[in-house]
Amino acid sequence: MQDEQQKIKDLREKLHKYNYHYYVLTEHIVSDQEFDKLLKELEELEKKYPELHDPNSPTQRVGSDLSNIFNSIQHKTPMLSLSNTYDEQELLDFDRRVRDGLPENSEVEYVTELKIDGVSISLNYENYELKTAVTRGDGVSGEEITNNIRTIKNVPLSIVKEKREVLPVDSFEVRGEIFLPLEGFRELNKEREKKGEKLFANPRNSTAGSIKLIDSREVAKRPLDIFLYYLIESEEKTKSQSDNLRIISELGFKVNTNYRLCKSINEVIEYCNNWELKRDELPYEIDGVVIKVNNVKQQKILGSIAKSPRWATSFKFKAKQAKTKLHKIKWQVGRTGAVTPVAELEPVFLAGSTISRATLHNTDEIERKDIREGDYVLIEKGGDVIPKVVAVVTSEREEGIEKLVIPDACPECESVLYKPEGEVAIYCENPECPAQVKGQLQHFVSRGAMDIEGLGESLVDLFVEQNFIKTFADIYDLHERKEELIEIERLGQKSVENLLTAIEKSKEKPFDKVLFALGIRYIGAGSARKLAEHFRSVESLIEADSEQIENVPDIGPSISESVQRFFADDKNKMLIEKLKNAGLNFKLEEATDSTNILADKTFVITGTLTEYTRDEAKEKIMKNGGKVSSSISKKTDYLLAGEKAGSKLDKANKLGVKIISEIELEELLKNAETD
């Protein structure tokens, strides 16, 4: 029993990790098939041992993309995920379960739709006007990103009058998938490459990143698109999914026209097989087919389980594969010190691009698959820029090819490598390792951390190679090298002045951003915020023991151990002191008095601000007890309006909401301080 209990715990932790990477970090670190296999194994164990039930188990909820940046809104109807099928037999099993769940001899039709590889969204309309756009989130609640979705040109902000008679109701909800067409994705990456920014791995990653940008003006520059596929309305005027699609289209929404009404499961299988062969002909990425029982009454009879409907499933396409020769295995060092094997391949064309490198994940994978230099291997690409080696073609292995020797020294600095207990990765623990320094610096200056504009990947690499920067603290000494920097051909005086200004401005970042920027293993933006808010200063965090750290909500042993390991290093403590002396924030300001005048006041921010950014305005308001919302309503107390305020200004005037400028906000804050 104890072994099974540990197995369940391990599976839950692993699946939570995969969910976090997929929905929050938009990193696909495991195949859908492998994820589903582990989820099924956990479901079986939980059925066998019901006494170990946990409401927070991955089997009980949908993966979450909540990031705590935007307002959370509860879905009126949960946004469930779909169960997956991978072959004809599993589709036949799905059909059998559907028929078993309906009255005897029921006729069943299915609607098949292409499964767009994008990000799910819920659009809510009142009186035919777009009210809110909400991400799927954890399936129960999502994040409101209405302003960003308004920038997608084919999302109707208002249903034209002549189309409203199609659906005569006061309110309704449509759900769909936001995506980035392949051509738009390529152009976006070209622009990022020119600027020296990190490239997006695939269209889904770029879509997920785009819709969560703080500045809607930046979202508007991304060529996002959308297909709508599901309608929810309280008066239940629709009788079938095919009817749903027709009404959505007639209302003026963009519907993917490749759907088909199938009279039998054999027609469904035919549709799936045809599109698996034709998927590369489309100008956007699909990763399968969604199959839904057409009749709405039958859908209601079948109902749902905890995380997915019984009346729908998805058929997942096999990942695209190709055979090629593995010439050499190169070991790369990341910013956390993780040493990762990468296969250098004979170039081969696969899924729209020529592949010459593929990830090998870790040493355990190499040993399990017995991968050797000189082997012919099968590579697989499921949308990622760097594909993976899935198998060795052992029948074509030449004689004399020896097993790979796993390195015991760092390929960059020759330090002894370390493998933590219970982990598959190996690490270089030398903080001055050149490869780690570059990666850590790139993270430190990135938008989510210190946000030093102009200090991109290529410039970081150059400064490290020129020995201008060895640690984070050296960034804040660059002003002493101003004349040397101006002499660099690609820079010049204006660029250097802008860079030094951006470095100086970064000193205003709050403690949680600085803590995240340090790049401590396992600490993301969310956990950095929680630690900063709990301990209030770096000194308190350094002095905390593991029990105190793990008392912080959502902070577990991995983070606790990592924090203590980081601050136990004298070099890191010296680094903190240098950054303090440079003027960075290592403590949170004391919360303003609870009797301040912004308490229980709700603000909306619109237009272009001149005195500070929207983030800074939001932080000022929240520090003084106020709340910030993204949409105007009768409950809004103030609209902070900058230049080009637009429709929110009109709505505020109609509702009688008080409109204030940045100067008037400062007056409110001064009053809050003196009250």
Q: Which residues are catalytic?
A: 115
Q: How far apart are CA 317 and CA 623, in angstroms?
A: 49
Give the 3-state DSSP-derived string for 9-72, with helices as H, strands as E and coil as C. Answer: HHHHHHHHHHHHHHHCCCCCCCCHHHHHHHHHHHHHHHHHCHHHCCCCCHHHCCCCCCCCCCCE
Q: How far apart are CA 174 and CA 238, in angstroms?
A: 13
What gap in Å lies between CA 366 and CA 124, rounded to an integer? 49
Contact yes or no for 370/392 (Cβ under 8 A) = yes
Q: Give residue 500's identity as a one-letter amino acid code.
A: L
Token pair in block for residue 621: 């308001």
d(CA 122, CA 177) in angstroms, rounded, equals: 9
Can you tell me the distance from the alpha carbon of 237 to that of 387, in angstroms, rounded to the nearest whole number? 46
Nearest residue to 516 via CA among 612, 584, 458, 422? 584
Reported in sequence order, the residue ranges of 180-267 that DSSP labels E, i.e. its strands, are 225-232, 260-262
Query: Which among 586, 585, 587, 583 has a CA at the least distance from the CA of 477?
Result: 583
List phi, psi (to 5°) of 414. 70, 15
* β-bridge pairing 338-350 and 320-333: antiparallel
Angle at 509 between CA 508 and CA 515, to 5 degrees: 140
Q: Which of 392, 406, 324 is nearest to 357 (CA)?
A: 324
* Pairing status of strand 225-232 against strand 260-262: unpaired
Residues 6+ apart with CB under 8 A from 165: none
Under 8 Å between Cβ of 175 and 122: yes
- Helices then strands, counting H and E runs in the chain, come out as 25, 22
d(CA 664, CA 672): 12
Measured distance CA(220)–CA(217) in Å, rounded: 5
Q: Which of 253, 299, 327 is nearest to 108 (CA)?
A: 299
Annotate 498-541 with DSSP letters as a single string: HHHHHHHHGGGS-HHHHHHHTT-TT--HHHHHHHHHHH-BHHHH
Cα Rg, the chain, nearest whole Å: 27
Grouping H, G, I as helix, E, B as strand and the rest as coil, residue 435 is helix
With helix as H, strand as E and coil as C, how does 632-652 read?
A: CCCCCCEEEECECCCHHHHHH
User: E strands, 201-273, where?
Assistant: 225-232, 260-262
Say which amino acid occupies 634: K
**What is the CA angle 240-243-249, rounded to 5?**
145
